[in-house]
Amino acid sequence: MSDSLFSDASKRLQAALKYVSISDDAIEHLKYPKSSLSVSIPVRMDDGSLKVFQGYRVRYDDTRGPAKGGVRYHPNVSLDEVQSLAFWMTFKCAALNLPFGGGKGGITVDPKALSKLELERLSRGYIDAIADFIGPDVDILAPDVYTNAMIMGWMMDQYSIIRRQISPAVVTGKPITMGGSLGRDGATATGAFFVIESIMPKFEQVPQETTVAIQGFGNAGAVLAELLAKAGYKVVAISDSQGGIYAKNGLDIPSIRHYKAAGNGVKAVYCRNSVCNIVEHEVITNQELLALDVDILIPAALENQITEENVNTINAKYIFEAANGPVTSAADRVLEAKGIYVFPDILVNAGGVTVSYFEWVQNRSGLYWTLEEVNQRLKQKIVEESNRIWSISQELAVPMRTAAYIHALNRLGEALNAKGTRDYYINSRVS
């Protein structure tokens, strides 16, 4: 992970600042994370040896409410990456008008190299190390890359043990039986689908005539691929960390999900009752997928996938960022010059944090919603904010990313100004 990831992320603010009227105090406040924590997590491995892992948690801003953000397990996790993700989460929550600030956490680990028992010890050890740094009214955790409902359940349980009270609202994305919300597993993908469905008609683009390529076939990418396929979009290419597949006439996404779930990777093969349907396809690399001539390209993997080095190979008309930070600021400028529309991560993948908010509300109230209620509330929130950001983009003639940051900055500025600014203290007089 580049040491300049946070610096690159911060550049997105500069383009938006010229269009907003917020105080210098607010701008200064948003330059820095509120607090950062680095911890060492000793884990007794199955073979009896002791291994120490590095963990992180960053609260970037909590002006609008307690920090909120996921925990990722990945070999490339660093403090720089976690700080950047917390920064993005701050603006994501503001853009969606959620009463949260931005936080993020992670552990530098290859989770695939650990047994389930080692993974549990690591997850509980992480909570032991950061328990005083988090809480339902302070900083709320959620799943991210290579973490899931089971891991969130371990974390919530460990926090409850430490506090000697059941504390479901400290973690979202938990198993349903531990206070999780219906619809949370697929929320990131469902939210992205609602964004696409609200934006594409503005370009008179109909599903049946729209080709899609998705980089990343994890929880977000796989669910989104299936939602788009069911809606009539032609999903012609997908990939995971090992590579991808392409079929110009479209892929059978449910079959691929079934096959991958069995541990076989993304193969266009599906077997049932000893009958196999082989879908003709080409094997491609992740870079080849990014360069495909498709209508919609969806990066749904990790950061910095479209950079100065490969941006000139991009041929898609529209890019929807289901991953966090997949396009660098330098690549953004090239894409804009090429007339390629980029719909930013702080809008496109905000379904996850939105339903996490719903879960937190349900935990606090003790009243739980049906899946239909969750998806209805999610759609209303996503479509409403998508249209507002689109209107800002059209009114100011700025890219959607800049419009999203303008929208978020206005809300953050109002909250920061409400606490008092230089102008207030200098110009006000006590009568």
How far, in Å, CA of 209 to CA of 403, rounded?
28
Contact between 354 and 381 (Cβ < 8 Å)? yes
How far, in Å, CA of 34 to CA of 171, rounded?
20
Handedness of CA 133, 135, 137, 139 (dihedral sign): positive
How far, in Å, CA of 73 to CA of 75, rounded?
7
Catalytic residue among 34, 92, 104, 381: 104
Beta partners for 245? Answer: 238, 283
Other CB atoms closer than 10 Å to residue 431's CB: what's the count?
3
Query: What is residue 105's three-state secondary structure?
Result: strand
- Token duo for residue 50: 């002791």
Q: What single letter denotes the amino acid at residue 407?
A: H
- Token duo for residue 152: 């969130």
What are the helix and strand counts (H, E) for the chain?
A: 15, 14
- Token duo for residue 14: 């500069």
Query: What is residue 317's three-state secondary structure?
Result: coil
- Token duo for residue 113: 């190299």
Contact between 226 and 282 (Cβ < 8 Å)? no
Beta partners for 139? Answer: 67, 135
Residue with tokens 């994370």: 33
CA within 13 Å, CB half, 403: 21
Residues 6+ apart with CB under 8 A from 9: 84, 87, 88, 325
Q: Which of 352, 353, 358, 237 is nearest to 299 (CA)?
A: 237
Output the CA–CA distances (angstroms, integers) from residue 420 to 23, 185, 293, in the order listed.
10, 40, 51
104 catalytic per annotation: yes
Other CB atoms closer than 10 Å to residue 76's CB: what's the count?
13
Q: What single letter denotes the amino acid at residue 136?
A: P
- Token duo for residue 34: 């509120």
CA 135-81-137 angle, to 5 degrees, is: 10
Catalytic residues: 104
